[in-house]
Structure formats: C-alpha cells, structure tokens
C-alpha cells in the first residue's frame, strides 16, 4: 500500500466499515524529536538515567512513564456484546472502541489485549505477567462464570485496580438510574421489591451493588427460575447470591411468581417477558430492560405499565450506558494511585451520576447523557474521595 493512500476494502461505501478502516486508534508521541538533542534526551543516552532511577526505586514508574495513566483492556472474545463467543480477533474492533472511550471520556490511555486462550489459568498468568506495564486492568467480554474467578484472583495478586466492566460498569449506572427512579416514584431502597432477570456477569454485579446501596428485597433469576437455596443446581457464585437475596425474604419459583407486585424489574438476560407478567407489577413500576438490541420488555409495552423505563439503547431516553462510569472510575482511581476499586468507590460513582440529574429529574431523565460534560469530572472526584475513605489511595 502506497503511503497516504487507502486500498479499497470489501465493504467500501458502508459508513460503519469505512470508519473502521485501519482501526480506530493510534499511538502518538508526547515529545518532539526535532534533532539530535531531543533524541538523546528521549532515548539513548539520556533515557538510561531514568531507567537507573526506576531500578533503584520502582515507584518512580509513577512519575516517569505512561504506566500510571494506562489501562489494559483484556478479553478472550467469549462474550462480545450480544454476539457471544466470536474469538479474540473478532473482538478487537470492540476493544479498540473501548480504548477510544477511555481516552475521550476519561483522559485515560488504553491498550486492547485480545488473548488467544479461554483457559482461566492462562488468562490470569498472562495478565499478571503483563501487569507491570499498566496502571490498571479492565476485563472485558469474558463469559460467566469464568469472569468471576478471573477477576477475584487477579485482585488478590495485583496491587492495581482490576475492574470487569461488564459487571461493575453496568451495575454502577443501573444503581444511579434506579436511585433517581426511586426518588421520582417516592420509594425507599430499604422497602422496594426488585427483580433482576439474568444471573450472569451483569446480573450478579447489579444485585450486589443494590445490596450495598441498601436494597433488601431482591429476587435474581436465571433460566431455571429464582436463585434460592431450595435449588441444588446453583454454582458457588449463584448459591452465595441466593443466600443474600431471595433467601432473606423467602422468595422462590418462577419469574411470574416474583414479578407479581414487584416495584422494579431489571433485565440483563436477553429473554422476553410476556405482557401479562409485566402487567402484574406494582403501580408506577420501574422497568429497566437492558438487553441490546432487543430489551426484555420493549419500551412501548413497558410504558403501558411503568412510570420509569430505561434501556441499553441510545435511541430511547434513559440509556444505561457503561461509558458513564468506567472512564471516570479509572481516572479517579489513577489520580490517587489506588490499589483497587472498592465497593465504596462504585457506589460513590453511582451517587455522583444520580446527583447530576438534580432538579431536572423526570420520567425520561433519570440518568445523565454520556455527552454531559460534567459526568467524567463528577465521577472522577467521587471515586478519588471514596478511595481515600476506603484506605486504598496511595497519594
């Protein structure tokens, strides 16, 4: 290919493919190399002095490299968007997109790493060995239940933030939107009845952050029904969640059983809820159908029975979009050189997002837009403060 010219591609003329030609990102130097003097400072011989300083005091990496502002976006391509297991090569356009979002909305540099393995041990060992090059690890599009073990074990082994965005980004934004929906409908977290359909990465994290925020009556469902200790087919992750959710209030059975009279429905399953089940919910219900592109409850149907409706789509109001959370969460964590991202930091991020809506709160505005310029700074400041309060800040 001649420099400066783009060879026509098989899908030329399609605006989506045209945008992706050559990828969506590049590396750019932050220093000018205009002559031998600059070259001798940026590279040999000058760079050797910086290397020696870091060798003597590894914490100097935080001052003299890009490491503290750079996150690795790690995937094995097993749960990419709604496409499922499409492999690491096909996952790269999504990971590039994620890196662009990190930079655009958080000022954080990111490197996509698509690993050619689905083995839990190999993924963990690979990330551990790569970790010295990064200030944080963002796990992405790794299928459940392996994603839970991978995240937990990486947290144990690394002293930098490890964050599975499919879990926690979704949970943070969902909590922010629900906080405002409860305020709008005059409900209280301690007494509200919530149904979470889907017990994968997002469903488990949503339920956990709701518990952290004070919600006590939660029923989480997988394809076999409510997670409860009456079942003998639960994985360890699901069994632990059952003890903290449905078991507390004695709920079990099917979706129809727990939706009757429920105040809130949060769908992260991709299934479809029949209208008669939706109609059985409490008056002025709250319905978040977050499957993309087809919500579990179509907004037109949801609005017949609910006061507040949210989706994961950009063409409807109240989009539950992870980009509201993860750039600011990492930015705040990096600002204080945090060793981890705690539950307190996630709840703080959700609270900051909810508070941005303020007096503009209404049925079609329970969460700010991703393009609201206040979002990154508000999340950043809240997360940094929470990191200090939780004792994980190193500066």
Active site (catalytic) residues: 43, 98
- How many C-beta neighbours within 10 Å does residue 201 have? 28
Q: Tell me how far apart the 2 most distant CA atoms of the chain are, in Å.
A: 75
Are the C-beta atoms of residues 372 and 354 closer than 8 Å to each other? no
- Name residues whose C-beta falls within 8 Å of residue 44's C-beta, 6 or more positions apart in sequence: none
Closest CA to 333 of 14, 63, 68, 30: 68
DSSP classification of residue 288: E
Residue 263: partners with Cβ closer than 8 Å, 6 or more residues away: 185, 187, 192, 193, 194, 281, 282, 285, 286
**Contact between residue 382 and residue 207 where contact means Cβ atoms under 8 Å apart:** no
Distance in angstroms (rounded) separating the CA atoms of residues 297 and 311 = 9
193 has which bridge partners?
217
DSSP string, 296-325: SS-HHHHHHHEEEEEES-TTSSSB--GGGT
Q: Are 192 and 263 in contact (CB under 8 A)?
A: yes
DSSP 133: G
How far from 42 is each of 30, 134, 273, CA to CA, in Å? 10, 20, 60
72: helix, strand or coil: strand
Tokens, residue 221: 């469902």
Q: Which helix (H) or strand (E) holds 187?
A: none
CB 134 within 8 A of CB 158: no
Q: Do 299 and 289 touch, CB atoms closer than 8 A?
A: yes
């Amino acid at each position: 290919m001649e420099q400066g010219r783009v060879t026509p591609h098989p899908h030329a003329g399609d605006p989506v493919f045209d945008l992706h030609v050559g990828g969506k990102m590049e590396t750019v130097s932050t220093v000018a190399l205009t002559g031998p003097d600059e070259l001798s400072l940026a590279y040999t011989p000058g760079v050797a002095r910086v290397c020696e300083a870091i060798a003597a005091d590894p914490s100097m990496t935080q001052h003299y490299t890009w490491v503290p502002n750079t996150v690795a976006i790690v995937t094995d391509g097993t749960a990419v968007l709604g496409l499922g297991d499409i492999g690491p090569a096909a996952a790269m356009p999504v990971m590039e997109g994620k890196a662009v979002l990190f930079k655009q909305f958080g000022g954080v540099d990111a490197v996509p790493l698509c690993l050619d393995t689905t083995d839990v041990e190999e993924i963990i060992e690979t990330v551990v060995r790569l970790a010295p090059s990064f200030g944080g690890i963002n796990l992405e599009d790794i299928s459940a239940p392996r994603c839970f073990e991978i995240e937990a074990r990486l947290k144990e082994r690394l002293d930098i933030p490890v964050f599975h965005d499919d879990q926690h980004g979704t949970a943070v934004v969902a909590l922010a939107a629900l906080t405002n929906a409860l305020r709008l409908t005059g409900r209280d977290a301690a007494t509200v009845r919530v149904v979470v359909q889907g017990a994968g990465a997002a469903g488990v994290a949503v339920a956990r952050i709701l518990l952290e925020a004070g919600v006590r009556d939660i029923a989480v469902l997988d394809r076999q029904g409510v997670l409860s200790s009456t079942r003998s087919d639960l994985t360890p992750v699901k069994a632990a969640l059952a003890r903290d959710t449905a078991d507390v209030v004695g709920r079990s059975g099917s979706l129809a059983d727990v939706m009757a009279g429920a105040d809130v429905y949060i769908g992260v399953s991709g299934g479809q809820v029949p209208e008669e089940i939706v109609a059985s919910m409490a008056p002025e219900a709250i319905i978040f159908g977050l499957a993309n592109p087809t919500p579990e409850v179509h907004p037109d149907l949801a609005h017949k029975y609910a006061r507040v409706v949210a989706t994961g789509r950009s063409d409807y109001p109240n989009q539950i979009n992870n980009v509201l959370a993860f750039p600011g969460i990492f930015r705040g964590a990096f600002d204080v050189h945090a060793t981890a991202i705690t539950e307190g930091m996630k709840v703080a991020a959700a609270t900051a997002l909810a508070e941005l809506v303020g007096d503009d709160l209404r049925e079609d505005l329970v969460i700010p837009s991703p393009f609201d310029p206040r979002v990154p700074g508000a999340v950043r400041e809240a997360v940094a403060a929470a990191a200090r309060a939780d004792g994980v800040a190193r500066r």
